[in-house]
Amino acid sequence: MVKQNSCNIYTSSLCQTQRKKKSESIILKRDNELYITFCEEDSFETFESDLSKITGSSFFYSIKKKFSATFISVVSVIVLMFGFISASIYEDLFKKIIFELPFPWEFSDTVSLIFVIVFFIGLVMMPSLLDGEGDEFKNILSSWFNKDVKKLKRLKLAFSLFDKKTPINLYNFDVVNNEHWVFNLLLKVLILRFNTINLYIRNDQIQSFEKKLNTLGALNIEVFKAKEISSTCDIEFLLSNKEQKLYSLMQLSSSKLLKSKDKKTFISFELFEYCGKNFFEEEKNSKHQLISGFQNFINRSFDDFKFIAQEKSQQIYFTSNSKFKDLQEEEKRLAYYLRNHIEECVSYFNNPISLLILYYYVKDIVLDEKRTILILEKFILTVEKQQQYELIDDFWFDIAGEMFDSSSIETFETTTNSFYRKLSIKSLNKLIFLFERNGYFEQAVLLAKYLYEINPNKYSVSICSLHERMGQFEKAYESLPSNLNLGKNKKPSEIEVRYFQRKAWIIVSQRKDTLKQEGLEALSSLKELIFSHNEDNEPLWLWHYYNIKANYAEWNEDYSASIKNYKKCLSIPALGAFEYGATFVNIAIAYRFKYLTSNTQKLDIINKSIKLGNLGVYLKQTVGDRDEMPVVLHNQALNLLCKILNSNNSKDSNEKLCKEIINITDDAISILDKTSSIKRLGMLLIENYIAKSILEKETSELKQRLEKHINLLDENEIKQLLELYKKFIISDKISNLEFLDKL
């Protein structure tokens, strides 16, 4: 038996295949070499047809192929006929010996004896002939009944037309298992026929393929790995069905979703593995999830298919060899699956690319924005931890936009939904560092100014450092305080702060002059607690302090100081819509009082009051604050009524304002009725009455309800109600109410 001289295994070289499409021929002959590239769907019939196109020009091959089939039939018939004749002759001779002895021996008897002896010897030797290894007769008989043997003989016959020294190049033969005809027939014939076999397979298949080759009788097996990487390589058609599935999953686990034309398409192996184990239903109960194995396919994508490359640690991207599929339906299904498992994904992912892709999958379908913030905070953390700073430059500003100027109250309305207002202080601190690493010094300065109130000492130094990095030495010097206010105490406990906070607030809410000094002392003690340490203050501590301080300024009728402290409240970061909404309501009230008490009532002041009040109403509505909503709406109605009362508005303008007052007071009264509350109901009824009277609408039922409710009002509310009523009576904008005139 003659075996080939060498069998060479090449890895990372599938790109060298001469077949470029599935539709092309399986076997090609070029430069006196044979190239056979196999795809999973290729059949033996297709291969034989392609092989015939190469050998079809040979007259000898055609005759031999036809003769072989005819010869098998002819030989089979002759053997059978010889057997029948021998049996008949043996029968005649045996009868003659038994029944006619003695008889004359003739020439015909000699011939009969010879046939009988040959037949006897044939019977004796038949088992060894049939069982003998390599017996041609056995092969002929086997081929008569076994289709694989027929195929094997046809392959042997076809390849016998080629010189044994012809190099044979085989691509992608590792895509099938050992029982496939590629191994049982084709590879077997090639190894026995040719001197040099070159096999191009996947890296992880080397050991298993060496065993297969040894089983088939291959000699001199050597392994070579390609060092050069082809610039272009389109071999997606060589992938098995399982690999195609993994390839689609890898695309789903990439930043292709971001549709960034000028940026590389990064891949998240964490998401790839997570989705492979959990997303595909048919794989959940499989013992071998994604049968080819995640790591094997990843390695193949690097080395064999050239689909992906690595730029930095954990930054893997698709190369130009990758051809993206249309996976919109799969993306939609995956998005909803990930939305239901955000917390699990955030805890599992440690690659910022994974979190970035997760964010884009769920950002438009997540109902609770806190879950989105959870993703972004983990993204910031992992960017810093993995030192992948350039991701901030590449992707962050597309997500969150630029940092706003927190010193301007005018920007609050447009930045209410900004992620910068919702991220934790810890995450914002990390962002300052990441902005600095990327050279976004101005963004870092704005962020440091936003956080300034949390720890003035700390952030003044940070702002100074950032200005210095920009070469702005004068600003750097000016940003430093003349003296550091270094506290000697430890950060106070929550209970200490809340004690003085509650005491100061209860007193200012009552507006009892006899307790005013005690309240101011409590406020002073609160200040001492908050600012006597060097650590970061809690945002809520600062908000309550400045809110209470603003209320004491209102008590002293110092509305400018009150507005200043409310602005301090708005400058405190990481608060919610509840706190910011309350501050806007309060600052609107302060502007209203400032408008009413100024010598020259400027329209821009009351307009500002109304604008800020509207923002307060909006923020309160976003948190569903039904408890305080009637009070909020009552104050906004007062802001609008003040504009009607003290300005020379046109009739159309007043009509528009009155309609707005009716709408918001109707809403507030409705909420009180549903909650069985009477808090500020008297003021809401009189406000509603005034607006309807100005528009000359029916008010009889409203007047009756107000008259019944008037006895339930406390001293402060009835005083405020009468004051408002009399102002509109004096201005002759409404008619008198007898039951109020008697009070």
pLDDT band (50, 70, 90) for residue 415 = confident
Asked if residue 394 has pLDDT above 70, the reply is yes
pLDDT of residue 208: 87
The mean predicted confidence, pLDDT, of the chain is 85
Q: Are residues 46 and 173 in the same domain?
A: yes
User: What is the mean pLDDT of the segment spanning 648-670?
Assistant: 91
Residue 409: predicted pLDDT: 81
User: Do 243 and 311 lie in a common domain?
Assistant: yes
Task: Using the predicted structure, report yes or no on whether residue 23 has a pLDDT greater than 60.
Answer: yes
- What's the CA gap between 661 and 690, in Å, rounded? 9
Domain that holds residue 55: 6-225
Report yes or no on 270 lying in a domain.
yes
Q: Is residue 590 part of a domain?
A: no
Closest residue by Cα to residue 41 from 239, 208, 201, 204: 239
Instruction: For residue range 638-657, list pLDDT tens digits in order.
Output: 999 999 987 677 888 889 99
> What would the mean pLDDT of 400-415 be, rounded to a whole number?
87
Q: Would the pLDDT of 83 be above 70?
A: no
Residue 378 lies in a domain: yes
pLDDT of residue 588: 96
Residues 381 and 429 in one domain: no
Tell me: do 421 and 288 sit in the same domain. Answer: no
Residue 153 lies inside a defined structural domain of this protein: yes
Residue 404 has pLDDT above 80, yes or no: yes
Asked which of 237-251, 281-295, 307-321, 335-349 is least confident by mean pLDDT, the reply is 281-295
Which tens digits make up the pLDDT trace of 129-164?
445 444 454 555 455 445 677 788 888 888 888 889
pLDDT for the residue 94: 63
- CATH number of the domain that residue 420 is part of: 1.25.40
Question: Helices 352-362 and 328-339: crossing angle, nearest 10°?
Answer: 100
Contact 563, 547 (CB under 8 A): no
End-to-end CA distance of the chain: 126
**615 found inside a domain:** no
**Interacting residues of 360 by C-beta distance below 8 A, sequence separation 6+:** 255, 257, 258
Q: 144-158, 373-387, 465-479, 562-576 — which is least confidently predicted? A: 144-158
The crossing angle, in degrees rounded to 10, of helices 629-645 and 681-694 is: 40
Q: Is the dihedral of CA 277, 281, 283, 286 positive or negative?
A: positive
Model confidence at 82, pLDDT cuts 50, 70, 90, reads low
Does residue 77 register a pLDDT over 70?
no
Residue 272 and residue 395 in one domain: yes
Residue 287 predicted with pLDDT over 90 = no
| 546 vs 505: CA distance, rounded Å | 11
Greatest mean pLDDT range, 3-7, 60-64, 99-103, 265-269: 265-269
Q: Is the per-residue pLDDT at 281 higher than 60? A: no
The identity of residue 450, as a single letter, is: Y
Q: Report the domain count for the chain.
A: 4
* 635 within a domain of the structure (yes/no): yes
In terms of Cα–Cα distance, which of 141, 155, 172 is closest to 36? 172
Q: How far is CA 705 from the centre of its chain?
A: 57
For 268-286, what is the mean pLDDT? Answer: 74
Residues 313, 183 within the same domain: no
What average pLDDT does range 110-116 have in this prediction?
70
Q: Do 721 and 739 form a contact (C-beta atoms < 8 A)? A: no
198 and 60 within one domain:
yes
Claim to verify: residue 262 and residue 293 sit in the same structural domain: yes
Q: List, in order, residues 6 or more apart from 670 with CB less than 8 Å away.
A: none
432 with 346, same domain: the answer is: no
Over range 432-438, report the average pLDDT: 96
pLDDT at position 288: 45
Is 562 a residue whose pLDDT tops 60?
yes
Integer angstrom CA distances of residue 620 from 282, 581, 591: 47, 5, 19
- Residues 200-233: tens digit of each pLDDT: 999 988 888 888 888 888 878 899 887 765 567 8
Is residue 698 one of the residues assigned to a domain? Answer: yes
Q: What is the pTM of this model?
A: 0.79
Q: Which of 101-105, 185-189, 539-543 has the lowest mean pLDDT?
A: 101-105
pLDDT band of 84, cuts 50, 70, 90: low
Q: How many CB atoms lie within 10 A of CB 482?
A: 4
Percent of all residues in the chain with a pLDDT value above 70, rounded to a whole number: 85
* Residues 721 and 649 both lie in one domain: yes
- Same domain for 431 and 382? no
Give pLDDT, residue 291: 44
Stretch 305-329: mean pLDDT, rounded? Answer: 87
The stretch 450-462 carries a mean pLDDT of 93
Kindly state whether residue 609 falls inside one of the protein's structural domains: no
Q: 315 and 186 share a domain?
A: no
User: In this structure, which amino acid lies at residue 112?
Assistant: S
